[in-house]
Structure 1
Amino acid sequence: MKINKVINMKSKLTVLLVLMMSLVLFVSCKKKEVKAPAEKAVNIRVQAVEEKALRPFVETIGTLNPNEEVIVSAEVDGILRNVNVDNGTAVSKGMLLAVIDDTDYGLEVKRAEAALRQAQAIYENTKLEFGRKQSLYKEQLVTQQQFDDVSTRLSLAEADVERAKAALLLAKQKLIKTRIYSPLSGYIKEKKASAGDYVKNGTNMFVIIQNNPVKLNFTVTEKDVGKLKKGHDVIFKVDAFPGREFKGKVNIIYPSLEEKTRTLQVEALVPNPDNALKPGLFAHVILYTGSERNTILVPIISLLYEGEKVKVFVVEGDRAKERPVKTESKYGEMMEITEGIKEGEQVVVVGQQNLSEGVKVNVAR
C-alpha cells in the first residue's frame, strides 16, 4: 500500500510539473505574440488614371512683335515745314507724313529745265548745220576736216541734251523727295523729328510698325523640335486680356538651335484686325503638334524621377505596386503616359515618396 501511495504521489507531482511547464511555455508564447509589432500601413491618397481624346501640344512662353518695322528717313537736306503725324498715329500706305522746304529744289528744277532747252536748241542748230555740211561734202564743196568737225559737234550736242535730261530728272526726284510718304499701313511707333528741324539725307524721322498681322515669337525645347511643322495651329493668351484666346499658325521654323539654351526659335503669324495685340506683350502659348488621339493621363504630382527613369505607384488590394512608365506630352497639370499603366488604375498622388514595392497602404477617403 505504501508503495502505491508513493507511486501515486510521484505521478501527481509529474503531472503538476508538466502542467506548470506548459503554463510557463504558454505565457512565454503569449508574451512573444504581444511583442511582435503589427505591420504599419502608409497613409496615401489616390486618383484614377484617365483616358481622354486630346490633341498633343507644347506649352511655352512667347513675345509679340510687329509684322514689319521700318525706319523712314529723309532723302534730301532741308528744313521741315510740316509734320502731319505723332506717336501712335494710324497711317495708311502712301499717306503724307511730312514736308521739307522745297524752295531750293523747285529752283533747281527750273534751272535744269532751262539747261535742257538750251542744250536742245544747240543740238537742233548743230543738226541743221550737219545736214548742210553733209550735202556739201557729197558735192566735195567742203573738206573732210570741216565735215568731221560738224559731225563731232553734233555728237557732243546730243550728249549734252542727254545730260540735261538726266539733270532735270534728278532735280525733279529731289523735289518729289521733299514730300515724305508712309511706305506701309500701320502706326507711328516713334516720331524723331519736328517742324522747324533741319534734316539731312539719311536723318531718321519716323519708325512705323505694322501690327496686322502680328508675329508671335517663341522657343521650344530640343525634345519637341521633331514635332514641329509649318502651318501648325497656335493658341495663346495674354495677361492684358485674361478671358480672351488668340489663334495663329506657325510661319517660320528657324534652321538651327541656340547653342547656349538648346532651344529652337519659332515664329507664328496672328491676325490682329482690331489692333488689340500690342508688340512687346508676353504670351502663354499652346502649340498643337498633331491630331486628336486617345491619351492616358496621370497627375504630374504622381510621378517619381530617378535619373532618366520615371515611375509611379499604383494600389492593388492593400499593397503598393511600383510601375515604371514612359511619359510624352504635358497637358496642364496632367502628363501623358504611353507605357506602364492603363485606364482605371489607382495611382498614388500623396504619400508616394514613402512607398516601396509591396508596402501595405491605407487609402484616405
Structure 2
Amino acid sequence: ALAEYDNARKDLERRKDLAVKNLIAMKDVDDAEARFLVSEANVRAAREEANTLLATLRAKRAQAGLAEKKLRDTLLKSPIEGFIEARLISTGEYVKVGTPLFRIVDDHPIRLLGEVSEAYATSLKSGLPVDLSVDSQPGKTFRGALRRISPASNPANRAIQVEATYPNDDRALKSGSFGKAAILLRVDPEGVSIPKQAVVTFAGIEKVFVIDNNVARERRVKLGDDLGERVEVVEGVAAGQQVAVSHTGKLVEGSRVRVEAGERK
C-alpha cells in the first residue's frame, strides 16, 4: 500500500507540472489525483488494520500472561520438608482462602514427647543423650538429644514433660509411633549396673548374690541411680561379675547354682 501510494503521489505531481505547461489535459490530472486519493485511503486502511492487529496481539499477550499467572497460582509449595500424611480436599472441590488442603508431616528431624519422674528434675538438662527403641525396629536403638524440659511437673502423676529430637535421616522413625526412651543422665565408662530383680532387700540391707564357679556369694551393695529396668551399683559388684536374677529369695551364702544365662555389665 505504501509503494502504491508513493507512486500515485509522484505521478500526480508529475502530471500537475505537465498540465501547467499545457502538455497534457486536465482530465489526466484528475485521473492521477483520483488514483492518489484511492492509494491514500488504502494506506489509512492498512494502518488501521495494523493498529487493530497490534491491539489484538497485545490483548492476546495480556491474556496469555494472565493464564500463566493462574497456572502458577495452582502450584502449591509446602513451606516445610516432609510427606503428605492426609489430603483434606477432593478433586474439583471449591476452596476458600485459608482452607487447609493437606497435612504435612516433617519427620526430619523427628520429635519425641515423653514424661520423666520429677525426682530427676535437677539432673535434666538440654543436650543430654536420649536412647530410643520402638517396636517396629526390634533390636535397634536410636540416639537423640534432649531439647526441651517443662518448667513444671504434672500434679496428677508428678512427672515432667520432656522433648527430644532425632535426626531420622533414613526416615526409620515414623510419626505417631510409641517407644521406650532412656535419658543418659551421665556417662561413666567404669560404671556398673545390674537388673533390678537381682537386688534382695532385707531389714533395710540391700544385697545381691554374685555367682562364682556355680556358687552363690552374698554381697552387700550400695546402689546409685535408677536406670529404668536396671540400677547402678556404686559398691559391692565389679564389672564383669555375674549376679543371680532368679530364685534370689531362696539363695544363701554358698548355695550351689546352675547358670542358664548370664549378663556381664
Task: Find the aligned partners of 1:274 and 1:320 in 2 and give their Cα distance.
Answer: 48
Task: Find the aligned partners of 2:169 and 2:242 in 1 and give their Cα distance.
Answer: 48
Conserved in 1, the CA contact under 8 Å of 2:108 and 2:171?
yes
Cα 1:175–1:243 change in 2 (3 A) is same
Q: What one-letter code is carried by the residue in structure 2 that aligns with 1:312?
A: K
Equivalent residue in structure 2 for 1:261, among 157, 165, 168: 157
Cα 1:188–1:320 change in 2 (3 A) is closer
Task: Find the aligned partners of 1:364 and 1:182 in 2 and give their Cα distance.
Answer: 64
- 1:109-120 aligned within 5 A: none
Question: Which segment is superposed worse, 318-327 or 257-266?
Answer: 318-327
Cα 1:293–1:223 change in 2 (3 A) is farther
- Say if 2:196 is the partner of 1:300: yes
Using structure 1 for the length normalisation, give the TM-score. 0.42
Cα 1:361–1:181 change in 2 (3 A) is closer
Cα 1:253–1:306 change in 2 (3 A) is farther
What's the % identity of the aligned pairs? 30
- Say if 2:221 is the partner of 1:329: no
Equivalent residue in structure 2 for 1:219, among 115, 119, 123: 115
Task: Find the aligned partners of 2:255 and 2:140 in 1 and give their Cα distance.
Answer: 44
Query: SS at 2:191's partner residue?
Result: strand
- Tell me by how many angstroms 1:231 deviates: 1.0
Task: Find the aligned partners of 1:279 and 1:319 in 2 and give their Cα distance.
Answer: 47
Conserved in 2, the CA contact under 8 Å of 1:302 and 1:352?
yes
Partner of 1:364: 257
Query: SS at 1:250's partner residue?
Result: strand
Q: Using CA pairs below 8 Å that are at least 6 residues apart, which structure has the higher relative contact order? A: 1
More strand, by proportion: 1
Query: SS at 1:199's partner residue?
Result: coil
| Unaligned residue ranges in structure 2 (runs of 5+) | 1-61, 259-265
Task: Find the aligned partners of 1:196 and 1:321 in 2 and give their Cα distance.
Answer: 77
- Tell me by how many angstroms 1:329 deviates: 3.4
Query: SS at 1:212's partner residue?
Result: coil
RMSD of aligned alpha carbons: 4.0
Task: Find the aligned partners of 1:320 and 1:274 in 2 and give their Cα distance.
Answer: 48
Query: SS at 1:198's partner residue?
Result: coil
Task: Find the aligned partners of 1:190 and 1:206 in 2 and give their Cα distance.
Answer: 6
Q: What one-letter code is carried by the residue in structure 1 that aligns with 2:156?
A: K
Matched residues, number: 188
Conserved in 1, the CA contact under 8 Å of 2:219 and 2:237?
no
Deviations 1:32-53 (A, max 9, x none): xxxxxxxxxxxxxxxxxxxxxx
Deviations 1:15-62 (A, max 9, x none): xxxxxxxxxxxxxxxxxxxxxxxxxxxxxxxxxxxxxxxxxxxxxxxx
Equivalent residue in structure 1 for 2:187, among 263, 267, 291: 291
| Unaligned residue ranges in structure 1 (runs of 5+) | 1-105, 111-173
Query: SS at 1:196's partner residue?
Result: coil
Conserved in 2, the CA contact under 8 Å of 1:310 and 1:326?
no
